[in-house]
Structure 1
Amino acid sequence: MPDMNTLEIVLAAGTGIGLASVAGIRAFVPLLLAALAARLGLLELPDALSFLSEWAFVGVLVGLAVAEAVLDKFGALDRVLDGVMTPVRLASGALLFAVALQSTLWAGAIPELVAGGVIAAAVSVLKAVLRPPVGSGNVGVSDGFISIMEDAVALVGGVVAILVPLVPLAFVAFFLFFLYRVRRRRAKKYGGLRILGD
């Protein structure tokens, strides 16, 4: 990590926490936003990670972000996608946290990489556990609506993380609370008729 004063470290850590938490929802959207922010000069990248702002890499991230969002709209793929993407989200969160603190990817960045990975993985696992099962739209919230909310939290949260550190954590917390409430409402609706809820 380059020389930073305490305030700069706190703000950089806030940005890293915000980006890593959003990466737990969508892996590629916050990476794409960080790459675009670096192109615009809003986010400084360490020399070892300057490739993140190359237009070719940005193009790849656009394709991956769109693919992740589109695949999530298919209810049958939801659980499989969460299982496959959790390690990717962990890696994305680790990289974003290290980038926010302007760390390289060498041994000195292990604490930043671990912290970012843990944040993203925790959000991803909570999202997978709390998200209502496919086809539970009969409790007033469709699967498509939840997926669109995930897209919005990732997009808005990623932009805000770059501009206002830590605020995206509130977005992510609200979204996870929303999933918890939907799941709880579903459990109350079916009550003792558990077989109908499956």
Structure 2
Amino acid sequence: MEIDAAGLVLGASTGIGLAAASGFRVFLPPFLLSLWFRLGLMDLNLEGSDFEPLTSDMALIVMGSASLIEILAYKVPFLDNALDTVATPLAGLAGASVVAVTLQGSDPVFQWAFAIIAGGGTSIGIQTATVTGRGFLSAVSLGAANPVFSMVEDIMSLFLILIALLAPFLALIGILIASGVLLSRKIRQLKVEKEPNH
């Protein structure tokens, strides 16, 4: 079933919000998206598509278990740093996947191009920032602050997921604003670095 222009914008907004959440927690966004489908709260039909297994009992059990393990494992100092090496590529995969799901019914070329570039790019960008922050905290606090940092990540991921599912346009606007702020800071930083020392 093809989706109209309004559904396309709605799906893209939802997907980008979930992709951003995947940058904080890899398994939680697809798990809650799957649960959303099972509860009949997602106005999208996956029947007969490659994503139909997402709504199965097995998918819910596996992703729910993986979400719980991920959340608990990130509370262990230095184990969390090691997990980041695996979580970074997985975040890109999760980000692209959730966007592709929410764009089901659109042109396949657009669906996957947007999913990989926007979805994967968003989640990897956020994941990279969290890796940097966790690495800094590990160095200055010897890991003592890492569990607190992890809890903040949990909250941010859950918040973005709920906003993406309940108010997707707000999620998109928030992500665009945050991206603009981060980009402007990076540009200012590069300008300062290029200025000659007196």
Aligned twin of 1:63: 65
Aligned twin of 2:185: none
Distance 1:151 1:89, change over 3 A: same
Gap regions ≥5 residues in structure 1: 178-198
Query: Cα distance, 1:16 vs. partner?
Result: 0.8
Aligned twin of 1:195: none
Distance 1:45 1:127, change over 3 A: farther
**CA–CA distance in structure 2, aligned partners of residues 145 and 168 of structure 1:** 24
The code of the aligned residue for 2:66 comes to L
Aligned twin of 1:25: 24
**CA–CA distance in structure 2, aligned partners of residues 53 and 13 of structure 1:** 20
The answer to whether the 8 Å contact 1:136/1:143 transfers is no
Aligned twin of 2:140: 136
**CA–CA distance in structure 2, aligned partners of residues 64 and 167 of structure 1:** 28
**CA–CA distance in structure 2, aligned partners of residues 11 and 149 of structure 1:** 27
**CA–CA distance in structure 1, aligned partners of residues 175 and 125 of structure 2:** 15
Distance 1:73 1:171, change over 3 A: farther
Q: RMSD of the alignment, in Å? A: 3.0
Q: Normalising by structure 2, report the TM-score.
A: 0.76
**CA–CA distance in structure 2, aligned partners of residues 120 and 76 of structure 1:** 22
**CA–CA distance in structure 2, aligned partners of residues 167 and 136 of structure 1:** 35
**CA–CA distance in structure 2, aligned partners of residues 91 and 45 of structure 1:** 22
What whole-Å deviation, never above 9, does each CA across 1:73-127 have from its counterpart, x for those lacking one? 11111221111111111111001001111258x6663213312111111111121
Query: Cα distance, 1:168 vs. partner?
Result: 4.1
Q: Does 1:87 align with 2:94?
A: no
The code of the aligned residue for 2:13 comes to G
Q: Does 1:14 align with 2:17?
A: no
The answer to whether the 8 Å contact 2:103/2:111 transfers is no
The share of aligned pairs that are identical, in percent, is 29
The answer to whether the 8 Å contact 1:75/1:135 transfers is no
Gap regions ≥5 residues in structure 2: 183-198
Q: How many residues align?
A: 174
Aligned twin of 2:119: 116
**CA–CA distance in structure 2, aligned partners of residues 10 and 110 of structure 1:** 15
The code of the aligned residue for 2:38 comes to R
The code of the aligned residue for 1:122 comes to G
